[in-house]
Amino acid sequence: MSFLIKKSTAAFLLIAMANLVVAFASFFILPPKFFYDSAIIIYDKFGEIGFLGSYPLTILFYKVTGLRYLPFPVIALIQFPILMFVLYKIGIPDDFEKISIKNILVYLGIFMIAIFIAMPSKEFITFLFVTPIVFICRNKRFTFKKTIITTILLLFVFGALYRPYFALIPIIAGGMYLISFINFKNKTVTVIFYGLLIAVFLSLSYGIVKGEHFSEMSRELVNKDRMGSADANSMIVSPVKPDTWYGETIAVFYGFFIVNVPVNGLKHIFSPQIILFIIWQLLLFYILLVRFSKCLKERKDYKYELLILFIIFSFFIVQGVFEPDLGSAVRHKIGIFPLIYFALYYEHFRKELQ
């Protein structure tokens, strides 16, 4: 009986095992600020536990599962293998063991999973919630129409119960989808531009009803209390106050570019971990942009990847509105890593869908 294992699978398992050590050791190495959210979730100092909202539901999850009663390193030993099993079930491309930009991005992504969400984390819930979208896309029993409808419903439900800004993703993605049928000279950039305009419109409409815009009630509010603190060096601060229509417009566009093309973060030359995360985001955004351009040109052959890319870029746009700093931007991207993983390796998965 042969127990030979494919090189790609062996590479995946080796990387996973190496990062399991990272996940376990992170509690003893990383500074306390990395565990601020985890402490809120585990100790529930403010009595937030409940059935609605990201913190209340996450606190409830860790209480019901009993994870909150375990040491953080033990939680890492439980959560990280679950996340790796999810990626394993999505599929491992045949050339996973080869050194390429795409593979390096995924290797680093797995490393960041070990650092950011192997601990008690809201992103652990997000990671597991977006995973069914990928499995639906890979399931031949779902027609493309059913896949779209189910995905939209999942995002709206997640937005209603857990993170409200996820409910904006289908709206922005739907608008971008309709715009993509219009012939433009540079369709890729134009579609994203109109996606940003849709986000601005939604924010301004909310401002008319509630009296404050999206970035004003989220990013600005969070960062207001952090000014001058040790954690303020990676804050995203709009050059114009977002309390007017033009200020919010600038804030949305500025936030999008800072979050996804964070070249300004290269000033942290003496913080190699920040530089690493910035390079990862720059390369990831570029490769996904190239994939997006190809899918728009060959939409019939790449319809499932195009659907996922509309969701990813809509998420990137929403990040530009709500993200308070570059650190949380990376963490939240890791939360939707199953979608990113599927988009990067779609050529491999497409063969199975045909």
Predicted local confidence at residue 243, as pLDDT: 84
pLDDT tens by residue, 292-332? 999 999 998 899 999 999 999 999 999 988 887 877 888 99
Predicted local confidence at residue 101, as pLDDT: 93
For every residue of 39-99, DSSP letters joined together read: HHHHH-TT---SSSSHHHHHHHHHHHSSGGGS-HHHHHHHHHHHHHHHHHHH---TTTTS-
pLDDT tens by residue, 234-279? 677 788 888 889 999 999 999 999 889 887 766 666 666 778 888 8
Q: What whole-number distance in Å separates Cα of residue 76 and Cα of residue 232?
A: 28
- What band does 1 get if pLDDT is binned at 50, 70 and 90? very low
Burial of 351 (0-12, 13-18, 19+ CB in 10 A): exposed
pTM, whole model, 2 decimals?
0.94
Q: Is 325 helix (H, G, I), strand (E, B) or coil?
A: strand
For every residue of 207-263, DSSP letters joined together read: HHHHSS-HHHHTHHHHHHTTTTSTTGGGB---SS-TTSHHHHHHHHHHHHHHHHS-G
Predicted local confidence at residue 227, as pLDDT: 63
Predicted local confidence at residue 233, as pLDDT: 62
* Whether pLDDT at 3 is above 60: no
Predicted local confidence at residue 262, as pLDDT: 82
Positive/negative CA dihedral, 206, 208, 211, 213: positive
pLDDT tens by residue, 37-81? 999 999 998 899 999 999 999 999 999 999 999 999 999 999 999
- What band does 2 get if pLDDT is binned at 50, 70 and 90? very low
Predicted local confidence at residue 295, as pLDDT: 95
